[in-house]
Amino acid sequence: MSHSYQPQENKRLEDKSIRARMLISCPDRAGIVAAVSQFLYEQGANIVQSDQYTMDPEGGMFFMRIEFDLQELEQRLPSLQEDFTRVSDRFSMRWSIFRAARRKRIAIFVSKEDHCLVELLWQWQAGDLDAEISMVISNHEDMRGLVESFGIPYHHVPVTADTKAEAEQKQRELTAGKVDLIVLARYMQIISPKFIEQYHNRIINIHHSFLPAFVGGKPYQQAYNRGVKLIGATAHYVTEELDGGPIIEQDVQRVSHRDNVTELKRMGRHIERIVLARAVKWHVEDRLLVYQNKTVAFV
């Protein structure tokens, strides 16, 4: 018998109605923090968390993440954004403001491996992943029962070499206007440049290797052949360069010459699920800024 699950409500949901997050990147110079803080003070906002980082202090880039509370946030946000342009123009900022109460909508793409998908579903059901899983899309039917037991729509879109373009068009129709983030949870298909452009820095992939080592297929076999002493996994944003997008999170585990390829894969699955879940959590909590081919993660 299947059961429909819903994520546990966050106990601080009432606070989220007035909570916003601001992400800023700009050339570094004196006065940025003071100007942003003064602006929010004049708006009547209360800063509850502030993090900043300077990449190369001499002539480099400045990155900032601020969380603040503002009464009647939803009604006041449009005017606040318009007024903030006076500050952003002065410092040549790239910036975004997100309401914490608006959960990001996720589409999970999966093939036959279920461990990363299961981890995301568990964290979502426990309330640890503060997002809405809008759908799961797969090129196989294997995960339908699992996904639908959580009350999440499951779409089977077969992919072959001859139907790849049609399959991707179907995927784009399913996700258009309905998702904010796509997560490739061991989805074993290449995403086209057109699709990637549509979701720029909004597609997260888990690669079963400690990139940039062992890119492409069969990384555990490659690692075994090289006799590595550490195996790992990498979560990264997807770009047109295969396995070459900005890295979000990585982790490793020590191995020895006694571990064969099967054992490396078993240990690797544990690392993969944790690394991907962290990356997705950081993205939906607006903790990531991308600059060139790097990420700044305020965690």
What dihedral angle (degrees, nearest 10) is formed by the CA atoms of 165, 121, 205, 180? 70
Q: How far apart are CA 183 and CA 187, in angstroms?
A: 9
Active site residues: 243
Q: How far apart are CA 234 and CA 272, in angstroms?
A: 7
Q: Put the strands of the sheet holding 131-138 in their side by side order.
A: 154-156, 131-138, 104-110, 181-184, 203-207, 230-237, 247-254
The residue whose two tokens read 């069969």 is: 218
Q: Is 127 helix (H, G, I), strand (E, B) or coil?
A: coil
Q: How far apart are CA 229 and CA 40, in angstroms?
A: 50
Q: How far apart are CA 79 and CA 89, in angstroms?
A: 16
**294-297 vs 288-291, strand pairing mode:** antiparallel
Q: How far apart are CA 65 and CA 63, in angstroms?
A: 7
Nearest CA among 253, 183, 242, 192 for reference residue 212: 242
